[in-house]
Chain A
Amino acid sequence: MTDEQQPATTGSERMTYREALRLALREELRRDERVFVMGEEVGVFEGSYKVTAGLMAEFGADRIRDTPISEEGFVGAGVGAAMLGERPIVEIMTLNFLLVAMDQVINHAAKIGAMFGGEVRCPLVIRTPNGAGNQLTAQHSQSFDGWFAGTPGLKVVAPANPADAKGLLKAAIRDEDPVLVIENLPIYKEKGDVPLDPEFVTPIGLAAVAREGSDITIVSHSFATVRALHVAEKLAEEKGLNAEVVDLRSLRPLDMETVAKSVAKTNRAICVEEGWPSYGVTAELAARISKACFDDLDAPVERVGMAEVPLPYAKNLETVALPNEDRIAAAVLSVLG
């Protein structure tokens, strides 16, 4: 590569979430020989959702490794390679398919550090999209973020914008522990400014105030944050309400300091997630907010998530079942009385 072809490394560039992930992968593949990508269709096919497009041409079939449809096998292969000091990034086509590899994630990757008394580490990254909204129906529209975030030994991040997609994926790759990076299907095409500095990372365990406000706190992550920001703008325009949006970014560790600080200011909170709220991320948040902010709250903590049914196919049914903007707005208004 000539000097003229070197990519810019200062300033920022507007790009999609998908492109930001690809940039993170490319930078880390260049930075560290131990980094390699493996998963179904990541190479020749250039990724089911094209996140890895062009990477096989640049890094070869060894580092952008196509796998058979064997999630348990290749997630486990990632666990083993990580134990020996490699930096595998395992792509799972969608979060739904990670269920067939749960034994490797929960019983193996998450246990290694503690169960072996710190004698061996597992710097594995699993990245996979969740989410719904494209009539993909019951088996392909699920969000199990809370399952993983509730497992000690794992770290779980879920970026909501292109800059954090780059920053959190890079932080995950550089981390010494197993990290699940939850992406999202509808978010892949979202655009935003992304820092071009190859050393730009978003710290794990640090939430962001995505929109400042004073009337209510909306706590969310991943695509729910995109929805929440739209709702906040709309309520400001139509009702003169000023909602603060806290984007969690990391689910485990969870930045409760930022959440509690926001609720102390607004005195009201609703928590939004793409998945089912029962026993979910919002359940955890509600419990913690109720304890940490008991004296600050002027209303009970409200939650919005996917309707508790296997997601139906018909468009009208799918629309009402998802935590759509109308449902979030209605919840905000109900909390504000």
Chain B
Amino acid sequence: MKDIDLTVRIGRLKLKNPVIVSSGTFGFGEEFEDFFDVSRLGAIIPKGISLKPMMGNPPPRIFETEAGVINSIGLQNPGFEEFVKEKLPYYKNLKTHLIINFFGNTQKEYIDLARRFDGIPGISGLEMNISCPNIKRCGIVFGTDPRMAYRLVHAVRKATKLTFIVKLSPNVTDIVRMAKSAEEGGADAVSLVNTFRAMAINIQTRKPELGNVIGGLSGPAIKPIALRMVWEVGQAVRIPVVGMGGIMNAGDAIEFILAGASAIQIGTANLVNPRTGIEVVRGIKKYLIQNKIGSIQKLIGAFRG
């Protein structure tokens, strides 16, 4: 095999390939050890962490739709202290980038967490979640108001020297405006999209299918919308865009890269085919070889519309 260059950059971060696994779909990483060498990915993003532990939403938390899943997990996580004590040591042998996804209920909590993670060795970057659709208070105001988003990003930027990615919600009037706010606030990159607010009703019981009534839709069903948003945001900002939304295989990943994504995230696909991540890395390489393109960088945003 020729010498294909799959390296991509997000701010100061150099990733060996553009394939990242999405927070909430990859546990803490150890669950995938049996399936493939996780260090072969460009980066991993474990479950999002909050200052205090969160119990999560009552079940049912999952409902399958046509080519998709609605989830209302509710950000269940062990909290910062427990994460650092029990989960962080596992990453000592990880030979790829670890990006921590985090969120808070107030601006103060976001800053506090960012500051705490800043001092921990072995962390390559932070992904700030301002976009959870199934928690009433968590960041949902930050995620929909451009001015609040700008203020939050600006404040958190000052609290950390790590590569700082802002994860955007698609449940907004104008995602381009949100992306620009994040860029102006000093984010190194934006990642999009998080899940779309959705629900389902059981007509036999006449009750909602999810314990939390509303959840977030993900999977192939959302790909066309996610792709369009990635393209629009990529046209509007100069910082790198990390694209996600329904990516199931290398072909999907390449669509997002052509649309302007410097890197992509695999989410729902991990649940269905745990080896999706490594298969997408191989698939992208194969595509470059077949099309006689020496470097993935030539593909980023190659579609100009």
A, B bound: no
A interface residue numbers (CB < 8 A to B):
none
